[in-house]
């Protein structure tokens, strides 16, 4: 493990109600379109374009980020923020998976991409909690932010507000992932996880939300805590029930109908 941290490799019902509220009221607008992974031909320009730095003068953005240490990861490489001096890391470009490993089983709890922030875990977590694994799904570049740099960022009101928003979104995402994990049936967990992913990486169509994030059955299995074969069977059952549809290797997720109490 080098200095950069790179190595070779709520109650259950609340999840359903939360996703139903957040997805059910989308109407015909676009949820989100999956951002293409940046080419990083001009690394600093890539950083300036991140939503985190929106509203900042480019010269101020450069002053706050230009000399920050970086970690470049190839697809499949692991990254351990705890082995660096950083208190948090900014995903400058790319896409990573964050997973926990408990009793030999791995579960993906989040996917990180451009502009997301990975926070250093508490030192005590290593001795009492499950292992945490972060690895690149695609080639990625991380900006390592130490305590002094973070303090400088927090002294800039616009940037501090953006950083709090990014971290608040991450907390909400983890809380929803936890609620989904408590759902008792595999089909329900999988459907809610697909809806959660579609909120960020989906586009609304007349027939439902098209998930623009390509995932293998194994990656989905890691997200809902089952083996790959179980996910394959669950996807088939969801398709049979009309909850999802597969079109040309693209997943279409039906938007839950809103009840009378949810209509305006």
- 263 versus 211: the higher-pLDDT residue is 211
How many whole angstroms from its chain centre is CA 7? 21
| Domain ranges for the chain | 35-172
Determine the average pLDDT of the residues in 131-135: 86
Long-range (24+ apart) CB contacts under 8 A made by 169-176 are 170/110, 170/116, 170/117, 170/119, 173/110, 174/109, 174/110, 175/10, 176/15, 176/18, 176/19
Residue pLDDT, tens place only, 222-255: 999 999 999 999 999 999 999 999 887 789 998 8
**Residue 14's pLDDT band (cuts 50, 70, 90):** very low
Determine the average pLDDT of the residues in 198-203: 89
In this model, does residue 264 exceed pLDDT 50?
A: no
Residue pLDDT, tens place only, 94-111: 999 998 887 778 889 899
In this model, does residue 28 exceed pLDDT 50?
A: no
pTM: 0.75
Residue pLDDT, tens place only, 58-93: 999 999 999 999 999 999 999 998 889 999 999 999
| pLDDT score at 131 | 76
User: In sequence order, what are the residues at sequence separation of 6 or more whose Cβ sits closer than 8 angstroms to the Cβ of residue 13?
Assistant: none
Q: For residue 252, list its beta bridge partners.
A: 210, 245
Residue pLDDT, tens place only, 32-51: 333 444 444 578 899 999 99
Encoded tokens for 184? 């008792």
Give me the CATH topology for the region 35-172. Answer: Jelly Rolls (2.60.120)
| pLDDT score at 18 | 47
Q: Which of 29-38, 68-77, 186-195, 207-216 has the lowest average pLDDT?
A: 29-38
| pLDDT score at 256 | 73
């Amino acid at each position: 493990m080098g200095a950069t941290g790179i190595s070779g490799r709520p109650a259950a019902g609340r999840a359903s109600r939360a996703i139903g509220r957040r997805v059910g009221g989308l109407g015909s607008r676009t949820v989100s379109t999956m951002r293409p992974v940046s080419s990083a031909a001009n690394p600093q320009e890539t950083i300036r374009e991140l939503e985190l730095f929106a509203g900042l003068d480019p010269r101020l953005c450069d002053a706050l980020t230009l000399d920050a240490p970086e970690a470049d990861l190839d697809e499949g490489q692991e990254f351990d923020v705890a082995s660096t001096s950083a208190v948090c890391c900014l995903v400058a470009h790319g896409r990573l998976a964050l997973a926990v490993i408990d009793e030999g089983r791995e579960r993906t709890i989040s996917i990180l991409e451009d502009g997301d922030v990975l926070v250093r875990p508490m030192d005590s977590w290593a001795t009492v909690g499950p292992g945490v694994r972060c690895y690149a799904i695609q080639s990625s570049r991380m900006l390592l932010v130490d305590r002094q740099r973070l303090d400088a960022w927090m002294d800039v009101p616009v940037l501090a507000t953006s950083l709090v928003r990014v971290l608040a979104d991450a907390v909400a995402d983890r809380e929803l992932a936890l609620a989904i994990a408590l759902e008792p049936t595999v089909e329900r967990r999988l459907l809610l996880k697909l809806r959660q992913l579609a909120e960020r990486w989906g586009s609304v169509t007349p027939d439902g939300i098209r998930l623009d994030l390509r995932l293998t059955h194994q990656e989905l299995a890691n997200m809902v805590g089952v083996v790959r074969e179980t996910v394959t069977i669950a996807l088939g059952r969801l398709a049979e029930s009309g909850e999802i549809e597969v079109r040309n290797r693209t997943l279409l997720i039906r938007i839950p109908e809103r009840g009378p109490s949810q209509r305006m």
